[in-house]
Amino acid sequence: MADDHPLFRQALVMAVEAVAPQARIIEAATLDRAVEVSSATSDLLLVLLDLKMPGSAGFSGVALLHAERPSVPILVISSAEAQIASPEARRYGAVGFIGKDQPLSVMEEAIAAALGGQSPPSLPAGETDAMADKVAALTPTQLRVLLGVLDGRLNKQIAFDLGVAESTIKSHMTTILAKLGVQNRTQAALAARALGLGAGR
């Protein structure tokens, strides 16, 4: 359960407990903590994710968590505009989107559907375009490198951030460019930003 508002996390805990009273709930107030928990929890069944929280921008949290654990459903629960954010969240791997203004009963239904392997009925179908597929196919490390590029950081700065050699970042960049089908890091950044990964950065 990744949300930086303690009161809303309490509401989500109530919704989860109503649907799955035996569930073990792990709370995270930042995207980094959510990724850490996702990587370390072998029996993870569902991620409830807010789009706007420390460490996240646009739909980068959805893309990163989906890349880390592609088999674990992600249900986005956010105050973002549903008509715009719902199909975008799905592009990057979310199974559904629920607005924070929805009644607790709607959240419970969505959580139950996600745990049952179904998309919540309120999720618009939406079309997944080719570039979104390519971005969603990047590995977690490649996504972190791409997010570093979006922040305008140099290869050596990204290498320092990730604790690896600069040559490793160069190798990742070559792979990223090939996967996205673009010629340079500027085009890669523009493609990712156009798809919402850089929103708010």
Last residue of a domain, one of 67, 87, 115: 115
The domain boundary residue, chosen from 115, 138, 169:
115
Tell me the three state secondary structure of residue 32: helix
Buried b (16+ CB within 10 A) or exposed e, 27-62: bbbebebbbebbeeeeebebbbbbbbbebbbbbbbb
Say if residue 19 is in the same domain as residue 86. yes
Per-range mean pLDDT, top range of 2-6, 117-121, 189-193: 2-6
What's the pLDDT band for 128 if we cut at 50, 70, 90? Answer: very low
Same domain, 49 and 97: yes
Q: What is the mean pLDDT of the chain?
A: 84
The pLDDT value given to residue 162: 92
**Looking at the structure, do residues 26 and 110 belong to the same domain, yes or no?**
yes
The whole-number pLDDT of residue 198 equals 58
Tell me, yes or no, whether 199 lies in a domain: no
Task: Tell whether the model's pLDDT for residue 127 goes beyond 70.
Answer: no
pLDDT tens string 133-170: 788 788 889 988 988 888 888 999 999 999 999 999 99
Residue 124's nearest CA partner among 156, 151, 99 is 99
Residue 121 lies in a domain: no
Q: pLDDT digit string (tens) for 171-189? A: 999 999 998 888 888 778 7
Give DSSP secondary structure letters for 41-64. Answer: -TT---EEE-SSSTT--TTHHHHH
Instruction: Check residue 126 and give its pLDDT.
Output: 44
For residue 69, give both structure tokens. Answer: 């654990």
Q: Which residue has the higher pLDDT, 35 or 82?
A: 35
Of 106, 107, 115, 58, nearest to 85 by C-alpha is: 58
Q: What is the pTM of this model?
A: 0.66
Helical H segments across the chain, by residue range: 6-19, 31-40, 60-68, 82-91, 104-115, 130-136, 140-150, 155-162, 166-180, 185-194
Number of domains in the chain: 2
Domain range enclosing 82: 6-115
CATH of the domain at 60: 3.40.50.2300
What are the tens digits of pLDDT across the range 2-52? 999 988 888 889 899 999 999 999 999 998 899 898 888 888 999 999 988
